[in-house]
């Protein structure tokens, strides 16, 4: 069972390259480049247009989100998501493989993976090692941008996999579910700046810190099941009990959800508003931080 889940959530570069070579790309298999970078550093869409995995479409997280929200990367409506991915040629029977070009190997791809799952699509995988390792292993790239024929996608939001501010607030007292924060230790504790204007670092009371990048090897691949299991055990996280994950804006939290999924836990929830919402709405006593309030605000937009 665990191995089946593992193979379903992750695919290797070789597996995908073999599928492309065998002409499997089409309505039954679609590839998405879900890269995102701070605009002043890199232009994800431009890089996609210059080179990408053959047959891949660009999945723009800044387009496939709730643009009316004051927070940064909130889930779109069912209709918005269905229309967006349908226009990428994805139906409910399509196997979707997502990747990104981050230097770590994977950054935004697990968010796209989780979005498909939370809208009811199970046949979705992350490319293990990302574009970084696709290039390193010498697989082909192209600048050809395809336009798939539109497909019909039916989205149904699984609300049990999404936590709201109210859920997180109530949980401080009830402790109905465990909470993991996937940001760096410094941002979690409040000893290093939080990306974004008008927000300083810290964490929600009762939260356990597991930085998302600790689930990756130095090469950028997902760690082994044994290593991941040990990591959760060391943090006293019981995967047999309810779990929710938070971060800066609901992106890197999805790395923890993916890691838990690899071990057979399919019901991890994400606090979609994450710290960006919590910081702006919570009472001071519910913001645990070592940050000096008179410290200069961070302004760098890269965050999870």
Give the catalytic positions in this structure: 247
DSSP run (H or E) holding 246: strand 243-246
Alpha carbons 167 and 270: distance in angstroms, whole number: 11
Name the H helices within 202-285: 225-234, 253-262, 274-281
Alpha carbons 261 and 161: distance in angstroms, whole number: 13
| 2-9 helix and 253-262 helix, angle to the nearest 10 degrees | 140
DSSP string, 139-191: ---B-PPP-PPP--------GGGEE-HHHHHHHHHH--SEEEE-S-HHHHHTS
Q: Which residue has the tokens 């937009």?
A: 301
Alpha carbons 43 and 56: distance in angstroms, whole number: 17
**Looking at the DSSP assignment, which residues form a beta bridge with residue 127?**
11
DSSP run (H or E) holding 70: none
């Amino acid at each position: 069972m665990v191995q089946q889940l593992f193979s379903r959530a992750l695919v290797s570069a070789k597996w995908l390259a073999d599928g492309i070579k065998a002409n499997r790309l089409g309505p039954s298999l679609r590839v998405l480049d879900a890269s995102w970078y701070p605009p002043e550093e890199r232009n994800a869409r431009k890089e996609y247009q210059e080179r990408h995995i053959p047959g891949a479409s660009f999945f723009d997280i800044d387009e496939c989100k709730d643009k009316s929200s004051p927070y940064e990367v909130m889930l779109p409506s069912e209709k918005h998501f269905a229309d967006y991915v349908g226009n990428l040629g994805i139906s409910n029977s399509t196997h979707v493989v997502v990747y990104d070009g981050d230097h770590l190997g994977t950054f935004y791809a697990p968010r796209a993976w989780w979005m498909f799952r939370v809208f009811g699509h199970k046949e979705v995988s992350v490319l293990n090692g990302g574009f970084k390792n696709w290039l390193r292993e010498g697989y082909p790239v192209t600048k050809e941008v395809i336009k798939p024929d539109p497909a019909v996608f039916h989205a149904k939001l699984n609300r049990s996999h999404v936590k709201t501010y109210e859920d997180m607030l109530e949980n401080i007292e009830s402790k109905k579910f465990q909470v993991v924060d996937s940001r760096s230790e410094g941002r979690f504790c409040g000893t290093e700046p939080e990306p974004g204007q008008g927000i300083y670092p810290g964490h929600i009371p009762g939260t356990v810190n597991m930085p998302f990048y600790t689930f990756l090897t130095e090469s950028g691949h997902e760690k082994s099941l044994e290593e991941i299991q040990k990591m959760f055990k060391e943090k006293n996280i019981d995967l047999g009990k309810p779990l929710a994950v938070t971060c800066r804006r609901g992106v890197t939290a999805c790395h923890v959800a993916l890691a838990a999924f690899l071990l057979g836990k399919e019901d991890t929830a994400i606090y979609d508003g994450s710290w960006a919402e919590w910081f702006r709405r919570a009472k001071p006593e519910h913001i645990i931080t070592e940050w000096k309030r008179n410290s200069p605000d961070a302004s760098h937009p890269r965050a999870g």
